[in-house]
């Protein structure tokens, strides 16, 4: 068995070990490296009940490609083998049947695609004329709608559409930028980042945008919030301690925990469905790979 | 002050604004009026190498090195600001490593250009002049290359990155030799994120690899074949390219200079495994090899998010996402390491480093919550070759819309680079380049 095969099996054994053997509260910073190619990555999201991760890889200098990493085998493969346009920000419905992502179409112009993996059909929100693009799609808890961010009239707001990319509704609207929506497991709340009070902070509201509560307060970026599977905590990225690090906070803004502590960047968190681990894109020695971090 | 030329600003396709470039009334009209006294000129000629870091696509000045935290929300953007090592100067939170090194460079915040579109502004930035009327003027690197001449195995002007800068429509016409001829085009070296290197000019010598050079007869036959394919008008230019390509292939030391695997792993890690990071490492190696002018390109294409384009700084959409997700982390990793390494190796004393794009971006956030083109105000970073550092030069107004100090033009940039590289007023007059150019006095 060569070194790389051995490393792959050791990684699998470590994942199994962490899942079943290690007590639930372990110190932060303990991590497992899931990929080895060191290339630029972003947007990892767990799929298949946590058995796989779909992420975005800068496969060549001109293309971001959707990849699927099977955690048991450690093998990655393209989600759309023949695609030559950049695709990013994939998110899946809970049952895995649908997924939505952003697709580059022409200069500074992107579409949002909603794909039915079972029927192999897709619909899209095409880019508007001129420079235009949707961002950060995410499915409602019951998979009936997709929430996403879109900029018009100088404000970046959060909208939702149905699975046919129709019946658009405005959900969050304020001055500044509203981005990275995520939906609570019970479908009653939406969390997102907003600059309405000056810089990126994390906010929570009811699913219709009402009863807004500010969750974080920092003079630096708090971005990319993700609600935990039990709906009680929010993972996010902040530069409050000097560079990009992962944090977890209760939905009421208490019990802030710093998950990573490294001179290089940790970004793009997503919760494993069992709610005890986060996947991230972390830079170590200049190499960007997927890592798993335990959440104490 | 008086007005020279005009420009229309805003977007790649939608030109919506017309204004005038205001230039200080001291602009000289010919080489003679711009001349420095000979003693001052001699004292400036300290740069054995010039590194021109080309941030193609035009970074937002407000979101990087010239933030306006007290401006209204529709201008200042979403980022916090951080203190730097320069008293009173703040950068956005996206650039902590550069902020920690601000005492090692001079920040210029008062650039203006006359062109609002990328290829045109690229040519002005590379040559100091518009693309039209023809002929296209020579790149600053070509001027320095001609002055230094082709010496040994080292090309005098190298362009490192992904290829000749272009947008989706066309090349930047001022990329190369212009009126000085194609002999002074840049020698292009392509680097990938994994550190692999491609040298397109060696494709002229198809089938010839370093390992096959032992067979000199085979090489000569191959070269003769290539030569026959060229028409007579191109033979002189080709000869020059061939000489370098052959020379580098033949010389083990030259070959090694292009092999990033020669670097210790720890060094390669420090630059980061991005195209720009590994290209920056290659740049340091080329400075060590004595290349007089190196253009380190951020990308080949300007567009930030466009099919088959390599993610330049042109952020008409996703401005804030791209800057925080990709561009600034890459820049903030690689550029500080390049500066550190040049200093640690004793190279910075004789190397002038300048980093800039072709213009700034709209201070007022666009309808698409991004920033469009803004030729009226942008920034540059300068260090090395004995420059006084740890300061700012020039100042923009409270919204970042216009300089409130004397504006600095691309022609002034090129003239200053030339002076530091030892290309005097007399030399420039003899070559018929950079007429009317004036050095940036405040840098001296």
CA distance A189 to chain B (A): 24
Cα angle for residues B37, B40, B46 (degrees, 5° grid): 140
State whether A175 and B73 contact (CB < 8 Å). yes
Chain segment A252-287, per-residue pLDDT in tens: 999 999 999 999 999 999 999 999 999 999 999 999
What is the CATH number assigned to the segment(s) A3-294? 2.120.10.30
State whether B93 and A221 contact (CB < 8 Å). yes
Cα A188 to Cα A210: distance, rounded to the nearest angstrom: 11
Label residue B45 by pLDDT band (50, 70, 90).
Answer: confident
Cα B154 to Cα B292: distance, rounded to the nearest angstrom: 9
Q: Which long-range contacts (CB under 8 A, 24 or more apart) does A143-146 make?
A: A143/A93, A143/A94, A143/A95, A143/A97, A143/A98, A146/A100, A146/A112, A146/A114
- Report the range of poorest mean pLDDT among B204-218, B286-300, B372-386: B204-218
State whether A108 and B304 contact (CB < 8 Å). yes
Label residue B223 by pLDDT band (50, 70, 90).
Answer: low
Q: B335: closest CA among B375, B380, B393?
A: B380
A195 vs B78, B277, B367: nearest CB: B78
pLDDT at residue A30 in the model: 75
Cα B419 to Cα A52: distance, rounded to the nearest angstrom: 58
Pairing, β B187-191 against β B157-161: parallel
Asked if B431 reaches chain A (Cβ–Cβ under 8 Å), the answer is no
CB count within 10 Å of CB A276 equals 19
CA distance A55 to chain B (A): 14
A108 vs B78, B306, B367: nearest CB: B306
Query: Does residue B20 surpass a pLDDT of 70?
Result: no
Query: Does residue B12 surpass a pLDDT of 90?
Result: no
Which of the residues B272, B280, B314, B341 would you substitute to probe the A interface, choosing the one with the greatest number of A C-beta atoms within 10 Å?
B272
Q: CA of A136: which chain B residue's CA is closest?
A: B321
CA distance B273 to chain A (A): 6
Residues of B within 8 A of A195 (CB-CB) are 73, 78
pLDDT at residue B252 in the model: 76
Please give the average per-residue pLDDT across A90-111, as a whole number: 96
Q: Assess contact for A208 and A226: CB atoms under 8 A.
A: no
pLDDT at residue B255 in the model: 76
Residues of A within 8 A of B311 (CB-CB) are 61-62
- Single pTM value for the model: 0.90
The predicted complex's ipTM stands at 0.90
- Report the range of poorest mean pLDDT among A47-56, A106-115, B223-232, B325-334: B223-232
Please give the average per-residue pLDDT across B361-375, as a whole number: 97
Question: How high is the mean pLDDT of chain A?
Answer: 91
pLDDT at residue B395 in the model: 97
Check residues B380 and B223 and name the one with the higher pLDDT.
B380
Please give the average per-residue pLDDT across A35-40, as a whole number: 95
Cα B248 to Cα B187: distance, rounded to the nearest angstrom: 12
Task: Give the count of alpha carbons within 13 A of A144, CB side only.
Answer: 3
State whether A153 and B193 contact (CB < 8 Å). no
Q: B334: closest CA among B269, B288, B378, B249?
A: B269
Chain segment B170-181, per-residue pLDDT in tens: 999 999 999 999
State whether A61 and B314 contact (CB < 8 Å). no
pLDDT at residue A78 in the model: 98
| Chain centroid to CA A171 | 20
CA distance B309 to chain A (A): 5
Label residue B15 by pLDDT band (50, 70, 90).
Answer: very low
> What's the burial of A119, exposed, middle or buried (CB within 10 Å: 0-12/13-18/19+)?
exposed
Q: A293: closest CA among A268, A285, B270, B273?
A: A268
pLDDT at residue B209 in the model: 55
Q: CA of A221: which chain B residue's CA is closest?
A: B79
- Report the range of poorest mean pLDDT among A16-30, A50-64, A68-82: A16-30
Which of the residues B76, B270, B325 would you substitute to probe the A interface, choosing the one with the greatest number of A C-beta atoms within 10 Å?
B325
State whether A108 and B194 contact (CB < 8 Å). no
If you search the block for the tokens 């190696």, which residue do you land on? B285
Label residue B18 by pLDDT band (50, 70, 90).
Answer: very low
Report the percent of chain A where pLDDT is more than 90: 89
State whether A199 and B311 contact (CB < 8 Å). no
State whether B193 and A155 contact (CB < 8 Å). no
State whether A242 and B96 contact (CB < 8 Å). yes
Q: Which two tokens stand for residue B156?
A: 């005098």
pLDDT at residue A278 in the model: 98
A286 vs B270, B321, B326: nearest CB: B270
Q: Which two tokens stand for residue A173?
A: 């609207």
Query: Does residue B428 surpass a pLDDT of 50?
Result: yes
In the stretch 201-260 of chain B, residues with CB closer than 8 A to chain A read none
B74 vs A106, A154, A265: nearest CB: A154
Query: Does residue B235 surpass a pLDDT of 90?
Result: no
H/E stretch holding B337: helix B328-344
B119 SS3 class: helix
Query: Does residue A85 surpass a pLDDT of 80?
Result: yes
Asked if B78 reaches chain A (Cβ–Cβ under 8 Å), the answer is yes
> Which CATH class name applies to B2-199+258-443?
alpha beta
State whether B329 and A130 contact (CB < 8 Å). no
B275 vs A61, A177, A283: nearest CB: A61
Backbone φ and ψ of A160, nearest 5°: -135, 150
Cα angle for residues B301, B304, B305 (degrees, 5° grid): 110
Cα B331 to Cα B310: distance, rounded to the nearest angstrom: 15
Q: Helices in chain A by DSSP H: which ranges?
A: 3-20
Q: Assess contact for B185 and B142: CB atoms under 8 A.
A: yes
Q: Which two tokens stand for residue A110?
A: 């992107």
B191: region left, alpha or beta (phi > 0 left; psi from -120 to 50 alpha): beta
Cα A199 to Cα A188: distance, rounded to the nearest angstrom: 26
Which of the residues B58, B70, B73 would you substitute to probe the A interface, choosing the one with the greatest number of A C-beta atoms within 10 Å?
B73
> What's the burial of B8, exposed, middle or buried (CB within 10 Å: 0-12/13-18/19+)?
middle
Query: Does residue A73 surpass a pLDDT of 80?
Result: yes
- Report the range of poorest mean pLDDT among A15-24, A240-249, A254-263, B245-254: A15-24
Residues 6+ apart with CB under 8 A from A201: A193, A194, A195, A214, A215, A216, A217, A218, A222
Chain segment B253-262, per-residue pLDDT in tens: 777 888 899 9
Please give the average per-residue pLDDT across B206-214, as a whole number: 53
Cα angle for residues A116, A120, A121 (degrees, 5° grid): 65
Label residue B224 by pLDDT band (50, 70, 90).
Answer: low
pLDDT at residue B327 in the model: 98
Residues 6+ apart with CB under 8 A from A115: A98, A99, A100, A101, A121, A122
Query: Does residue A1 surpass a pLDDT of 80?
Result: no
Please give the average per-residue pLDDT across A195-205, as a whole number: 97
Cα B267 to Cα B339: distance, rounded to the nearest angstrom: 13
CA-CA distances (angstroms) from residue B395 to B24, B160, B377, B408, B442?
15, 31, 10, 11, 12
Query: Does residue A64 surpass a pLDDT of 60?
Result: yes
State whether B93 and A39 contact (CB < 8 Å). no
Label residue A22 by pLDDT band (50, 70, 90).
Answer: very low
Asked if B264 reaches chain A (Cβ–Cβ under 8 Å), the answer is no
State whether B370 and A242 contact (CB < 8 Å). no
Q: Domain limits of chain B? A: 2-199+258-443
Among A1-10, A236-245, B220-229, the range with the most confident prediction by mean pLDDT is: A236-245
Query: Does residue A145 surpass a pLDDT of 60?
Result: yes
Chain segment B261-310, per-residue pLDDT in tens: 999 999 999 999 999 999 999 999 999 999 999 999 999 999 999 999 99
Pairing, β A41-47 against β A31-33: unpaired
Query: Does residue B145 surpass a pLDDT of 90?
Result: yes
Please give the average per-residue pLDDT across A200-225, as a whole number: 97
Query: Does residue B104 surpass a pLDDT of 80?
Result: yes
Pairing, β A63-70 against β A257-258: unpaired
Residues 6+ apart with CB under 8 A from B414: B127, B128, B140, B143, B434, B437
State whether B273 and A86 contact (CB < 8 Å). no
Report the percent of chain B where pLDDT is more than 70: 80
pLDDT at residue B152 in the model: 76
């Amino acid at each position: 068995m060569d070194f790389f095969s051995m490393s792959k099996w050791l990684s699998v054994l470590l994942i199994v070990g962490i899942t079943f053997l290690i007590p639930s509260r372990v110190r932060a910073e303990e991590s497992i490296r899931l990929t080895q190619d060191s290339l630029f990555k972003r947007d990892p999201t767990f799929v298949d009940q946590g058995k796989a991760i779909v992420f975005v890889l800068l496969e060549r200098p001109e293309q971001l490609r959707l990849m699927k990493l099977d955690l048991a085998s450690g093998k990655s493969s393209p989600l759309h083998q023949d695609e030559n346009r950049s695709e990013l920000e994939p998110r899946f419905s809970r049952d895995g049947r649908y997924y939505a992502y952003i697709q580059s179409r022409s200069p500074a112009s992107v579409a949002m695609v909603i794909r039915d993996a079972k029927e192999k059909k897709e619909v899209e929100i095409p880019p508007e004329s001129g420079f235009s693009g949707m961002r950060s799609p995410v499915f409602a808890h019951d998979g009936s709608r997709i929430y996403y961010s879109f900029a018009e009239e100088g404000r970046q707001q959060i909208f939702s559409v149905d699975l046919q990319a129709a019946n658009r509704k405005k959900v969050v609207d304020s001055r500044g930028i509203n981005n990275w929506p995520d939906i609570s497991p019970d479908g009653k709340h939406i969390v997102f980042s907003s600059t309405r009070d000056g810089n990126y902070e994390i906010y929570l509201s009811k699913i219709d945008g009402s009863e807004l509560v500010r969750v974080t307060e920092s003079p630096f970026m708090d971005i990319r919030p993700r609600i935990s599977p039990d709906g009680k905590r929010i993972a996010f990225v902040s530069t409050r301690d000097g560079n990009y690090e992962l944090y977890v906070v209760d939905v009421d803004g208490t019990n802030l925990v710093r998950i990573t502590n490294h001179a290089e960047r940790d970004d793009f968190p997503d919760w494993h469905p069992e709610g005890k681990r986060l996947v991230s894109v972390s830079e170590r020695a200049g190499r960007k790979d997927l890592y798993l971090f335990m959440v104490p | 002050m008086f007005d020279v030329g005009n420009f229309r600003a805003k977007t790649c396709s939608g030109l919506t604004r017309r204004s005038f470039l205001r230039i200080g009334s001291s602009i000289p009209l010919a080489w003679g009026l711009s001349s420095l006294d000979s003693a001052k000129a001699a004292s400036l000629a300290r740069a054995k190498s010039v590194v021109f870091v080309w941030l193609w696509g035009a970074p937002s000045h407000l979101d990087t090195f010239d933030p306006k935290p007290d401006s209204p929300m529709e201008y200042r953007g979403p980022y916090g600001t951080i203190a730097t090592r320069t008293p009173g100067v703040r950068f956005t939170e996206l650039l902590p490593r550069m902020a920690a090194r601000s005492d090692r460079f001079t920040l210029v915040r008062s650039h203006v250009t006359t062109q609002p579109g990328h290829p045109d502004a690229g040519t002005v930035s590379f040559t100091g002049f518009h693309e039209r009327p023809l002929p296209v003027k020579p790149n600053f690197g070509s001027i320095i290359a001609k002055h230094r001449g082709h010496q040994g195995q080292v090309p005098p002007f190298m362009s490192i990155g992904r290829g000749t800068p272009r947008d989706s429509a066309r090349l930047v016409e001022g990329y190369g030799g212009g009126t000085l001829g194609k002999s002074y085009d840049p020698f292009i070296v392509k680097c990938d994120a994994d550190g692999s290197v491609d040298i397109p000019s060696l494709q002229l010598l198809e089938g010839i690899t370093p390992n096959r050079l032992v067979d000199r007869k085979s090489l000569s036959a191959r070269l003769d074949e290539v030569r026959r394919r060229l028409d007579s008008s191109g033979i002189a230019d080709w000869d020059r390219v061939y000489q370098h390509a052959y020379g580098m292939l033949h010389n083990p030391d030259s070959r090694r200079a292009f092999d990033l695997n020669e670097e210790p792993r720890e060094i390669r890690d420090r630059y980061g495994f991005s195209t720009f990071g590994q290209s920056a490492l290659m740049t340091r190696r080329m400075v060590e090899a004595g290349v007089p002018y190196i253009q380190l390109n951020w990308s080949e294409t300007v567009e930030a998010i466009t099919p088959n384009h390599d993610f330049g700084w042109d952020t008409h959409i996703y401005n804030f996402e791209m800057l925080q997700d990709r561009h600034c982390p890459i820049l903030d990793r690689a550029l500080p390491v390049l500066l550190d390494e040049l200093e640690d190796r004793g190279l910075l004393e004789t190397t002038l480093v300048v980093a800039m794009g072709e213009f700034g971006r709209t201070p007022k956030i666009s309808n698409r919550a991004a920033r469009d083109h803004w030729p009226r105000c942008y920034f540059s970073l300068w260090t090395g070759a004995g420059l006084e550092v740890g300061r700012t030069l020039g100042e923009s107004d409270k919204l970042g819309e216009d300089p409130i100090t004397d504006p600095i033009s691309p022609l002034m940039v090129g003239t200053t680079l030339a002076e530091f590289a030892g290309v005097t007023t007399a030399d420039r007059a003899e070559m018929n380049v950079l007429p009317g150019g004036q050095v940036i006095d405040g840098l001296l």
